[in-house]
Amino acid sequence: SGKSTVANELERLLVEAGRPCYRLDGDNLRHGLNRDLGFSAEDRTENVRRVAEVARLMADAGVVALVPIISPYRAGREEARALHRAAGVPFFEVFVDTPLELCEARDPKGLYRRARAGELTGMTGIDDPYEAPTDPDLRLVPSDGDARGMAERVLALLPSS
């Protein structure tokens, strides 16, 4: 959908500006912290909860946590927001709103192809739901421009220090 591409560019901009940041990559987390989780609704919810906890700890330490993960359920995103709010640290929900057709055309890991072929089940947007945000802090769409432009829009949301 472009989540990682925008997060990578935002990370570069933050580093250039001397801002401490860390990108919590979903694949890396799935191989380490969350390696015990599968892709059931319960496991997806727990994945988001754990990542939100790590992001909150980082934010509490003054590090901008970038979290380009699939967070398919509204309740999980609201829980993450509430967790940050309770800790008094910023939280910004950025919705990278990419049409399913474009996600399938890009498909860098071949997951959509495998899901359509019946080789993979539980694929978000195919046979598992994605609950789009109703009120994100920022909505990005492909027509917004390149990754740098989108990253600059996200950067504009962040507090200056």
| Half-sphere exposure at residue 26, Cβ-oriented, CA atoms within 13 angstroms | 16
- Which architecture characterizes domain 3-97+132-157 according to CATH? 3-Layer(aba) Sandwich (3.40)
Q: How confident is the model at residue 161 (pLDDT cuts 50, 70, 90)?
A: low
Better pLDDT: 154 or 99: 154
Report the 10 Å Cβ neighbour count for 61.
11
Q: How many angstroms separate the CA atoms of 69 and 24, rounded?
A: 8
Please state, in angstroms and rounded to a whole number, the distance separating the CA atoms of residues 39 and 45. Answer: 9
pLDDT tens profile 41-55? 899 899 999 999 999
Where do the structural domains in the chain lie, given as residue ranges? 3-97+132-157
Active site residues: 71
Q: Which of 152, 153, 140 is nearest to 3 (CA)?
A: 140
Distance separating alpha carbons of residues 64 and 8, to the nearest angstrom: 13
What pTM was estimated for this model as a whole?
0.87
Count CB-CB contacts under 10 A for residue 148: 14
Over residues 111-127, the pLDDT tens digits come to: 788 878 888 777 787 88
